[in-house]
Structure 1
Amino acid sequence: MRISTAQFYESSAANYQRNFANVVKSSEEASSLVRVNTAADDPVGASRLLQLGQQASMLDQYQANATTIKGTLGATEAVMTSINNVLQRAKELAVSAGNAGYTDEDRKANASELGQIEEQLLSLMNSKDENGKYIFAGSKGDTVPFTRNNDGTYSYNGDQVTLDLAVGDTMSMATNSTGWDAFQQALNTSRSQVTMTSPPVDDGRVTLSNGQVSSNVSYNNKFRSGEPYTVDFVSGTQLKITDAAGNDVTAEASQGGAFDPTSKTGQSVSFRGVDLTLNINLGAGDVPGAVLPGHSFTLAAKPDTFTATRSPGNPTAAQVTTSSITNATDYHASFPSGAAVIKFTSATDFDLYAAPLTANSKPVSSGTMAGSVATASGVSFTFTAAPVPDTGDQFSVAVNTHETQNILDTVSQLKTALNTPTNGNAIATQKLQASLASGIANLASGTDQLSSALSSVGGRGQALENQMDTNQSLVLANTQTQSAIRDSDPAAVMTRLTLQQTMLQASQLAFSKIAQLGLFNKV
């Protein structure tokens, strides 16, 4: 086969360029020890490196999220621990105030310290994180979570939403603890009340305290189904309890309703999960069988109450002055639980919605003002006579079922009880003891709720540490896998480079020798 001179030179030049390119590429690889720079170097390896790079980016984000959560949990735990210490001091003050040797001035001193504790709790519960966001406001980080109302009670203005961040491929974790879970959901042990119905004027001979819930199961399953109850003193040693249907349920009371009229200390009466304290205050010459019969009380759960506030953007400055349940059947059937919104569609017509109000919300009920009163789903709201509500006015309604009680309200109620004079007044002293028992029980309930929230923070912290360790292991594995695919073996690279350099030199030498074999060199 004949090979032209042109073909020879073209073939030799191509071989030389290919060998030279291989030497250059191997030299660069030997210098950087990186095998895969482009997809052309190793299509399968490049694809795998792309996937590993995406995983590495996600792992970096997971670690950043975990660091954020760890800092937030640390701040939350520190604040909760401080609140727990403050509550312990409040409990000590409440217990000591029950000392028989304390005077009104002693109790006022305790009340003064409770006032400082109340302010301290409010400040701690409105703590901010390093970014200036309120820790316990849920997703409403710019809203003050706890505020004092005009009547001295407290309201929670945050929400129940936790802010979750991904810390793993299949794991997300809440960065925050809401004030709703930590402080608002403490069970209220003092959610039943006693009202004297006879005699019309209290003669002070019998005092029956508001009930303390000792068993939520019995209270919810039995007590609530039969209320309101009537407690009648039928003799000097026996009381009778009848339910709303008139059934005699005295047998379910402790000691079958029997009591000792000569006892100078409070006697406990337990009934369907509720504990009451009975005090008999007989005067000189009083015969129990003659003066105690005819005393009667009603016993029932505290009725739900409402806090209604106008929206800031209302066209008018109308306010809700009072509110109450006027139709229990309608209320239990349709009034939204938790919170509602009243929206006026004209100067007299309004709709009631379940909160929050959205573009897709449907009215729960509608109505028309009767004078200055709007009745929605069994609840009547009285508005100011001037200004009156108008089209576009909205009012937020928070429902207090008394099932739970904010620890701020508990401390405030204790402070009020200790500021009430009792010296020389047996009945006032008995009421004080009942208030102290209620306050101590609710402080314990609030502490239990806080402990539960604190345990949740600790549990998340432990899970976060485990996940961070897992992420770190994945980061190391990812780095090693990328290195195995991308990086070169120095020995292999140097061996290949030496071989390619030898081949390049051989091709150069061969070209020069063969070029001398041309016909013109023989002429």
Structure 2
Amino acid sequence: MRISTAQFYESSAANYQKNFSNVVKSSEEASSLVRVNTAADDPVGAARLLQLGQQASMLDQFSANMTTIKGTLGQTEAVMTSIGNVLQRAKELALGAGNAGYTDADRQANASELGQIEEQLLSLMNTKDENGKYIFAGSKGDVVPFSRNTDGSYTYNGDQVTLDLPIGDTQSMATNSTGWEVFQQAINTTRTQTTLTAPAVDDGRVVLSNGQVGSDVTYNAKFRSGEPYTVSFLSSTQLQITDALGNDVTAEASQGGVFSSSNAATQTVSFRGLDLKLNINLKSGDTTPDTVIAGHSFTLAAKPDSFNTSRSPGNPSTALVTDASVTNSTDYHASFPGGGAILKFTSATNFELYAAPVTANSKPVSTGTMAGTTATASGVSFTLAGTPGAGDQFSVAVNTHQTQNILDTVSQLKTALSTPTNNDPIITQKMNAAVTAGIGNLSSGMDQLASSISSVGGRGASLVTQTDINQSLALANTQTQSAIRDSDPAEVMTRLTLQQTMLQASQLAFSKIAQLGLFNKV
């Protein structure tokens, strides 16, 4: 086969360029020890490296998220611990106030300190983080979570939404604890009330306290189904309890309803999960105790739901809701939003009731027209002062009394201890019952707080475990990337030496063959 001079030179040049390119590429690889720089170097390896790079970025983001969560959990736990210490002091003051040797002045001193504790609690529960966000407001970081109402009670203004961040491929973790969960869900142990129905004027001979829930299970299973109850005193030693249907259920009361009237000492009547404090105060001249005690009666039932209402700052009018109460129990339980409502006026007389929060797709749960100064929606009557305007909105928060904010508990304790007894035994008995109720609710609030602290600790422990998992994944990721991308130094140097030898050989072959041309023989 003949090979022209042009073909020979072209072939030799191409071979030389190929060998030279290989030497240059291998030299760069030997210098950087990186095998895959572009997809052309290894298409499959490059695709795998892209996936591993994305995973590495996610692992870095998980690590940043966990650092954020650790910081917020640390601050939350510190604040909760401080609140627990403050509540412990409040409980000590309440226990001390029950001392028989305490005077009104002693109790007033305790009440003053409870007032300071109340302010301290409010400040701690409205704590902000380093970014100026309220840590217990849920997703409403710019809204003060707890505020004092005009009647001295407290309202939670945040929501129940936790702010979650991913810390693993399939795991997210809450960065915050909502005030609703930590402070609003403490079981209210004094969620029932007694009301004297006979005689028409309280003679002070029989003092029966509001019930304190001792067993939630029994209370929910038995008590609620039979209320309201009537507690009737048949004699100076026997009471009778009948349920809403008139059935005699006295057998379920402690000692079958038998009590002592020999002195005014507090005695406990237990009934369907409730403990009631009873005092019998016979007066001088009561020679026939049965006569003066028989005929006293009380109603006993769960406290009715109450409502806190507030006007929207953007309302066109200055109208206010001055009172709200349940007037139709059936309608109320059937349709009133349990999580809060918005009362919206479409004119000066027409209104609509929505479940909170109101969105573009919200539909009213009820509508109506005012009757005088009253707007009745879903069984609840709202009394207004002033004429509402179209567009007026009022937020309605429902208090079912099943739970109680610890701020309300401290405030109620302060009020009870601030009221002078003037050594009046009946006032003292009522004050002692209020203190006992306060101690029970403080214990419940501290239990709820302890549960929340435990939740924070559990999340912290999960972070430690997930950190170890992510670190293992990051190490495996790095090793896999290295195995795909990085070169073996020995293999690279061997290949480079071979390619340099081939380059030198091609140069030598070119020069030798070039001398065999016809013109070299002339």
Q: Distance in 2 between matches of 1:243 and 1:322?
A: 30
C-alpha deviation, 1:270, in angstroms? 0.6
Deviation at 1:216, TM superposition (A): 1.1
Aligned to 1:296: 297
Cα displacement string for residues 295-334 of structure 1 (whole angstroms, at most 9, x for unaligned residues)? 1111111111001111111111211011111112221222
Q: Counterpart in 2 of 1:147?
A: 147
> Are 1:222 and 1:272, in contact at CA under 8 Å, matched by a contact in 2?
yes
CA contact (8 A) 2:263 2:281 kept: no
In structure 2, what is the Cα distance between the partners aligned to 1:310 and 1:366?
A: 19
Q: 2:3 is matched with which residue?
A: 3
1:193-229 C-alpha deviation (Å, 9 max, x unpaired):
0111111111111100000011111211211111111
| DSSP-derived class of the 2:9 partner | helix
Partner of 1:391: 390
Kindly provide the CA deviation profile for residues 87-132 of structure 1, in whole angstroms up to 9, marking residues without a partner as x. 0000000000111111111111111110110000000000011111
- Cα contact 1:139–1:158 (8 A) shared by 2: yes
Q: Does 1:270 align with 2:274?
A: no
Within 1, Cα distance between the matches of 2:132 and 2:468? 30
Number of the residue aligned with 1:173: 173
Q: Where do 1:218-297 residues align within 5 Å? A: 218-286=218-286, 287-297=288-298
Rounded to whole Å, the distance in 2 between the matches of 1:239 and 1:52 is: 78
Residue of structure 1 in register with 2:363 after alignment: 362
Deviation at 1:420, TM superposition (A): 0.6
In structure 2, the residue matched to 1:94 is 94
Write the mapping of 1:267-416 to structure 2, written as runs, cut at 5 A: 267-286=267-286, 287-384=288-385, 386=386, 388-416=387-415
Find the residue that maps to 1:190 and give its secondary structure.
Answer: coil
User: Within 2, Cα distance between the matches of 1:424 and 1:74?
Assistant: 49
Shift of 1:338: 2.5
Match of 2:157 in 1: 157
Take 1:420 and 1:338, find their aligned partners in 2: how far apart are those partners? 35
Percent identity over the alignment is 79
Paired residue for 1:499? 498
Q: Is the 8 A contact 1:338 1:400 kept in 2?
A: no
**Equivalent position SS for 1:221:** helix
Matched, 1:477 2:461: no
* Aligned counterparts of 1:141 and 1:129: Cα–Cα separation in 2: 9
The one-letter amino acid paired with 2:428 is: T
Q: Counterpart of 2:235 in 1: which secondary structure?
A: coil
* Separation in structure 2 between the aligned mates of residue 49 and residue 324 of structure 1, nearest angstrom: 67
- Could you say which residue in structure 1 is the equivalent of 2:24? 24
Q: Distance in 2 between matches of 1:182 and 1:236?
A: 45
CA distance in 2, matches of 1:217, 1:171: 35
Counterpart contact for 1:233–1:239, Cα < 8 Å: yes
- Larger mean CA deviation between 309-318 and 189-198 belongs to 309-318
> How do residues 197-236 of structure 1 correspond to structure 2 at under 5 angstroms?
197-236=197-236
Q: Which amino acid aligns with 1:344?
A: F
2:41 aligned partner:
41
1:321·1:383 contact (CA, 8 Å) conserved in 2? Answer: yes
- Alignment: residue pair count: 521
Question: How far does residue 423 in structure 1 lie from its aligned partner after superposition?
Answer: 3.0
Q: Distance in 2 between matches of 1:170 and 1:242?
A: 56
Q: Which amino acid aligns with 2:281?
A: N
For structure 2, the residue ranges without an aligned partner over 5 or more in a row are none
The residue that corresponds to 1:108 in the other structure is 108
Measure, in 2, the Cα distance between the counterparts of 1:490 and 1:331.
80
Please identify, of 353-362 and 202-211, the stretch whose mean Cα deviation from structure 2 is larger.
353-362
Deviations 1:402-424 (A, max 9, x none): 00000000000000011011132
Give the Cα separation in 2 of the matches to 1:403 and 1:223: 14
Tell whether the 8 Å contact from 1:192 to 1:301 is kept in structure 2 after alignment. yes
State how far apart, in whole Å, the 2-side matches of 1:357 and 1:216 are: 34
CA distance in 1, matches of 2:134, 2:423: 47
Residue 426 (structure 2) pairs with residue 423 (structure 1):
no
**Do 1:237 and 1:288's aligned partners in 2 also have CA atoms closer than 8 Å?**
no
Per-residue CA deviations over 1:8-65 (Å, capped at 9, x if unaligned) read 0000000000000000000000110100001111111111101100100110011111
- Match of 2:197, SS state, is strand
For residues 482-516 of structure 1, what are the alpha-carbon distances to aligned partners after superposition, in whole Å with 9 as ceiling and x for unaligned? Answer: 01110111111111111111111111011111100
Equivalent residue of 2:291, what SS? Answer: helix
- Using the TM superposition, name which of 19-28 and 332-341 deviates more: 332-341
Runs (5+) with no aligned partner, structure 1: none
Amino acid at match of 1:297: F
Task: Judge which range, 337-346 or 73-82, deviates more.
Answer: 337-346
**Structure 2 residue aligned with 1:451:** 450
- Corresponding residue SS for 1:166: strand
Q: Which amino acid aligns with 1:409?
A: D
Separation in structure 1 between the aligned mates of residue 509 and residue 414 of structure 2, nearest angstrom: 106
1:75 is paired with a residue of what secondary structure? helix
Corresponding residue number in structure 1 for 2:76 = 76
Name the aligned partner's letter for residue 486 of structure 2. Answer: D
Q: Which whole-Å CA distance do the structure 1 matches of 2:225 and 2:368 have between them? A: 30
Give the match for residue 520 of structure 1. Answer: 519
Instruction: Give the ranges of 4+ consecutive aligned residues of structure 1 lying more than 6 Å apart after TM superposition.
Output: none
